[in-house]
Structure 1
Amino acid sequence: MRVKSKILSTTLIISCVLVSRHRTLMNIFDKAPVVDKDAFVAPGASVIGDVLVGRGSSIWYGCVLRGDVNSISVGSGTNIQDNSLVHVAKSNLSGKVLPTIIGDNVTIGHSAVVHGCTVEDEAFVGMGATLLDGVVVEKHAMVAAGALVKQNTRIPTGEVWGGNPARFLRKLTDEEIAFIAQSATNYSNLAQVHAAENAKPFDEIEFEKVLRKKFANKDEEYDSMLGVVRELPPELILPSNVLPDEHKAK
């Protein structure tokens, strides 16, 4: 009886694991995501159905890109930051079919909602912004953090829009336009670091834990007495454009 009970418990645990398993890339209907081999999709993100992710783009932790009733296209070098939601519309009140199209070198900030709209190359969508059906954010335009952009709004090149509902605030400066491009490059480089860390095998991760513990506490006087020489662990080498300013000067 105990053996039967144990088998039933084990079967139930396995079933629960299978049912609750998270799939980062998931087919829906007859559609499957297509992700470039040089793109980074973080563990915990969900890329579902008819979704295309281009070279060097990054989909960060907690993001959902759900291409079930229409398609989502993400260009090259674009970053969609943590907890953002990208979805589509099969149709809206105007009867339009609305995929979501995100261009090249776009930055979409944390927790943004992008729904059935178009964000052109090198545009910037701030943290927590919401873009509703039919919105077009033109190249080199910026949506401010927390903005709500109403349906079918077009944000012209070189303008900043913000508020609820979003309205024109001012023109972008040349420095801000340059920042948009730099932001995309920074995230592309940072994604490479995260991809490398996530690709490490279990034994390497465990070995690094031991190293961190070994180098955590240093007492030079005690080490000298014992004749111990501690080597410094190697530093993480980041691309120069994601290093803090104090390291750039060195």
Structure 2
Amino acid sequence: MLIASVKQLRMILGKALRETGQAIDRAGSSMTRDVAYMERYSRHRKLMPLDQLWPSHGKSFIAPNASLIGEVLVGTNCAIMYGAVLRGDISALRIDDNVIIGENTIVQTVGLLPDGIPKSVTIASGVLVEPHCSLTSCVVDTGVWICTGSVVQQGAKLEQGCILLPGSVVSPGFTVPAFSVFGGSPAKMVRDVSLKDLEAFQDALKKASEQAQRNDELLTSLGH
């Protein structure tokens, strides 16, 4: 009975202190004209440890309302954009350097796959994942372009330089060959990657990186 009362008291006291701190923070932000306190979502970066598994990242842009949960390892010069959720709560999620994860994209893992198929997510360097995509326990090689709204299911592999057209769905365990363009549901080969495709990819990757840098500079100027 006493232990339960102590726990309840701690909960009440903790909630009161937290709400008081938030009120003071809002008042101070308003007085210094820091508009960040008006953010609809949490304006604090969500790096969520699970047990002893802590997310980590190099010098990269992590949007204030993006979530990195559990064993998530992000390299340098990456951008995890607004509303993106990276879940390493079941298996590891590893992202190399110079990778863009677009707005509201979900990258997650599963706990059970056939023998020999990794349950983790591995994304190599120079990859562009556009907004509203879903990636689950897959391997993404270097220079891959995953366009808006695409779904990559568990056990799939995207080989170097391939492109998924908007809304593509890659079936579980399927391998998209290197330097090929796939589209549809389920995704099927459309054609080989052309020089024009490569130029468009580099342009899109550059624009996404520059946008992330501008966002980072803006948030820094606002005191984040």
TM range (shorter): 0.7 to 0.9
Letter in 2 for 1:200: S
Q: Secondary structure at the match of 2:90?
A: strand
Q: Does the CA-based 8 Å contact 2:118-2:155 persist in structure 1?
A: no
Match for residue 54 of structure 2?
Answer: 32
1:116 aligns with 2:148: no
* Residue pair 1:77, 1:105 contacting (<8 A) in 2 also: yes
Number of residue pairs matched by the alignment? 193
Rounded Cα–Cα distance in structure 2 between residues aligned with 1:86 and 1:17: 35
Greater C-alpha Rg? 1
Residue 215 of structure 2 corresponds to residue 194 of structure 1: yes
Counterpart amino acid of residue 67 in structure 2 = S
Q: How does 1:173-212 map to 2 (within 5 A)?
A: 173-201=194-222
Task: Give deviations 1:204-242, integer Å, cap 9, x for gaps.
Answer: x9xxxxxxxxxxxxxxxxxxxxxxxxxxxxxxxxxxxxx
Equivalent residue, structure 1, for 2:177: 156
Q: Is the 8 A contact 1:91 1:97 kept in 2?
A: no
Contact 2:45 2:62 in 1 (8 A): no
Aligned 1:73-84 pairs, distance under 5 A: 73-84=94-105
Gaps of 5+ in 2: 1-11, 22-40
AA of the residue aligned to 2:173: N
Q: Determine the structure 2 residue equivalent to 1:99.
A: 120
TM-score, structure 2 as length reference: 0.78
Change (3 A) 1:12 1:100: closer
Residues 80-89 or 24-33, more deviating: 24-33
For residues 1-250 of structure 1, the aligned pairs below 5 Å read 24-37=46-59, 39-92=60-113, 96-201=117-222
CA distance in 2, matches of 1:17, 1:44: 22
Larger mean CA deviation between 61-70 and 170-179 belongs to 170-179
CA–CA distance in structure 2, aligned partners of residues 56 and 181 of structure 1? 15
Kept in 2, the 8 Å contact 1:150–1:166? The answer is: yes
Deviations 1:40-74 (A, max 9, x none): 00011001111111111000000000001111111
Per the TM alignment, residue 201 of structure 1 is displaced from its structure 2 partner at its CA by 3.5
Q: CA deviation at 1:174?
A: 0.8
Q: Distance in 2 between matches of 1:136 and 1:201?
A: 40
Structure 1's 144 and 16: CA in aligned 2 closer, same or farther, altered over 3 A? farther
- Asked if the contact 2:84/2:105 (under 8 Å) is kept, the reply is yes
TM-score, normalised on structure 1?
A: 0.70
Q: Indicate if the aligned counterparts of 1:78 and 1:107 stay in contact, CA closer than 8 A.
A: yes
